[in-house]
Chains A and B, each alone.
Chain A
Amino acid sequence: MTGPMDEAELAERVCHAVSVIAGSGLGPPPAQPLMIDDVVGGEILSWCATDRTEGLTAAALAAGFVARAGPDGNDGGWVTDLTAAFHQGLRQCLLAEETMVRAVHALTAAGLCHRVLKGVATAHLDYADPADRMFGDADVLIERAGLTAALDALRRAGFSRDEAPPRGWWERRFARAVVLTRPNGSELDLHVAIAGGYFGRRLDHGRLWATAGQSLVVGGTEMVSLGADDRLLHACLSAEVSKMSGIRALRDVAGLVLGGQADWRRTIANAQESGVDVVVARAIHRAWIELDLPDHPAHRWSEITPLDSSQVEAFDRFVPGDADSWAVEASGTLAALAWKYRPAFLLGVVAPSRANLQSRGMTRLGHCAKLFRTLAKGRR
């Protein structure tokens, strides 16, 4: 009988378990599963709730990558709690898919092209079982020029927006996404760009639209996602310059590289052409380290590739989970914009409409104070 674990030992065991779970399914299962007791299991449950990894953890259990350490015949403990959370998460996925089905019908009826992004696409196209990849909302990309028509079509289909635009013209020109909801509480992120800030601005969205997408059928509805190479690029952006993506996005990156669907060399070439390759390098590097994956040419590339200093500078400004990340994103966008567009962009950031401030529960004074605080923090 061992004594209670100290905090460092617990942290080490949790990190190891997270790494095994997140990397499970990317190679054959080990001869012996990693045994997880209820103490470490409790921490794993917290991680699952934050990173939405209940599906991966359930799959790792089923495939013998991990197992519950405990008395034989006792199937309680953290596994029971995980199963309940897993099923609840799956219900959320189905709700999000229903939202996507409705959105795709509305957009298609309005004659608008779309690309299904992130969870819905990745779960169906890049995982052996879609239950392994969980998600909480629906994300769809449309062309920037179609934003007004898309918002009209989606409003007619029962979607509404809680937040007024900073300025209508500003949103059409500079926004990354508009968040819409349905009366049942489900959320649709209507993207006009696959990333925000500096890298979202640098990215060549014209090339994305000119590249053939990949079809999938969800709930009897045919939809189109990005092609695999661009799904890898998007997974890298989600992993490195998006709020709260967690290890799930790194698993997407590793799965797309190792699964053979994506041509990672082509993804890198496209990223280099747009000037966003630092994001791809950092995402692949971090995926290989955090998931403890065996040597691979993509990882070797991520370690030795020379990185453009302006990209590195923009990358280092981004702090994951930063509460003021909208302002960090805005300053990144500003840096990527040509000088002639900067005044218009700044106008929307500094002086959003009254309706926008009201919908965010802010006063003009509070908004300015927050902006200055963030800019001051950025200078330090």
Chain B
Amino acid sequence: MTHADTSARSQVRWCRADDVLWRIGADRVLARVVGSDAVDLIGAAALVWVALDEPGTISEIRDRLADEDLNLEVPADLAVEAAVEMMQSSDLIRPDDRPDGRG
């Protein structure tokens, strides 16, 4: 991941992809993009998914999670960014390009 990638990602407003099927489990989010295998989102990734109930930038997501005890070994900023990168590469989220900004 280059600095340019990171910078570009932080400018984007993210939303959940439309064709994702998902459930909130006991300690994780289970998700399945239609046509792909199911994935378990654990830890920060699960929290980011829940926080994306409304579309948001990385900094907005971080703010929404400010009161959560993330219990992470890395700074929250990095954890949120890594979760966004992982979910983007799994096609679980996409840039929000709708005019009303509601994903």
A contact residues vs B (CB 8 Å cutoff): 58, 62, 83, 86-87, 90-91, 93-95, 97-98, 101-102, 129-131, 218-221
Determine how close the nearest CB of chain A comes to the CB of B17; give it in whole angstroms.
Answer: 8
Provide 12 A-B residue pairs closer than 8 Å at the C-beta atoms, listed in order of the A residue.
A87-B26, A87-B28, A87-B40, A90-B23, A91-B30, A94-B22, A97-B32, A98-B34, A101-B21, A218-B21, A219-B34, A220-B20
Among A62, A94, A102, the residue within 8 A (CB) of B23 is A94
Is the pair B34, A102 in contact by a Cβ cutoff of 8 Å? yes
With A87-B40, A91-B38, A94-B38 given, is the CB distance from A219 to B30 under 8 Å?
Answer: no
Is the pair A87, B32 in contact by a Cβ cutoff of 8 Å? no
* Cβ-closest chain B residue relative to A55: B23
Is the pair A219, B21 in contact by a Cβ cutoff of 8 Å? yes
Q: Does B24 contact A (CB under 8 A)?
A: yes
Determine how close the nearest CB of chain B comes to the CB of A312; give it in whole angstroms.
Answer: 41
Determine how close the nearest CB of chain A comes to the CB of B94; give it in whole angstroms.
Answer: 11
Q: Does B63 contact A (CB under 8 A)?
A: no
B contact residues vs A (CB 8 Å cutoff): 17-28, 30-32, 34-35, 38, 40
- Kindly list chain B residues whose C-beta atoms are within 8 Å of the C-beta of A93: 23
- Kindly list chain B residues whose C-beta atoms are within 8 Å of the C-beta of A131: 23-25
Give the 7 A-B CB pairs with smallest separation, nearest first.
A220-B18, A94-B32, A131-B23, A219-B21, A90-B23, A94-B21, A220-B19
**A98, B40: Cα distance in complex, Å:** 16
Interface-centre pick from B21, B27, B35 (highest chain A CB count, 10 A): B21
**A102, B30: Cα distance in complex, Å:** 20
* Cβ-closest chain A residue relative to B17: A220
Is the pair A94, B18 in contact by a Cβ cutoff of 8 Å? no
- Kindly list chain B residues whose C-beta atoms are within 8 Å of the C-beta of A95: 32, 38
**A220, B31: Cα distance in complex, Å:** 13
Is the pair A86, B18 in contact by a Cβ cutoff of 8 Å? no
**A102, B32: Cα distance in complex, Å:** 14
**A95, B21: Cα distance in complex, Å:** 9
**A95, B33: Cα distance in complex, Å:** 10
Is the pair B21, A58 in contact by a Cβ cutoff of 8 Å? no
Is the pair B21, A87 in contact by a Cβ cutoff of 8 Å? no
Is the pair A98, B21 in contact by a Cβ cutoff of 8 Å? yes
Determine how close the nearest CB of chain B comes to the CB of A166; give it in whole angstroms.
Answer: 34
Determine how close the nearest CB of chain B comes to the CB of A325; give it in whole angstroms.
Answer: 32
Determine how close the nearest CB of chain A comes to the CB of B30; give it in whole angstroms.
Answer: 5
Is the pair B23, A130 in contact by a Cβ cutoff of 8 Å? yes
Determine how close the nearest CB of chain B comes to the CB of A345; give it in whole angstroms.
Answer: 39
Determine how close the nearest CB of chain B comes to the CB of A121; give it in whole angstroms.
Answer: 14
**A208, B38: Cα distance in complex, Å:** 35
Not counting A131-B25, A219-B18, a sample of 11 additional A-B residue pairs whose C-beta atoms are within 8 angstroms of each other reads: A86-B25, A86-B26, A87-B25, A91-B38, A94-B21, A97-B21, A101-B19, A219-B34, A220-B17, A220-B20, A220-B34
- Kindly list chain B residues whose C-beta atoms are within 8 Å of the C-beta of A221: 19
Is the pair A90, B18 in contact by a Cβ cutoff of 8 Å? no
- Kindly list chain B residues whose C-beta atoms are within 8 Å of the C-beta of A219: 18-21, 34
Interface-centre pick from B19, B25, B27, B31 (highest chain A CB count, 10 A): B25
Determine how close the nearest CB of chain A comes to the CB of B6; give it in whole angstroms.
Answer: 28
* Cβ-closest chain B residue relative to A61: B26
- Kindly list chain A residues whose C-beta atoms are within 8 Å of the C-beta of B35: 98
* Cβ-closest chain B residue relative to A105: B34
Determine how close the nearest CB of chain B comes to the CB of A101; give it in whole angstroms.
Answer: 5
Among A87, A98, A129, A220, the residue within 8 A (CB) of B30 is A87
Is the pair A94, B30 in contact by a Cβ cutoff of 8 Å? yes
* Cβ-closest chain B residue relative to A221: B19
- Kindly list chain B residues whose C-beta atoms are within 8 Å of the C-beta of A101: 19, 21, 34
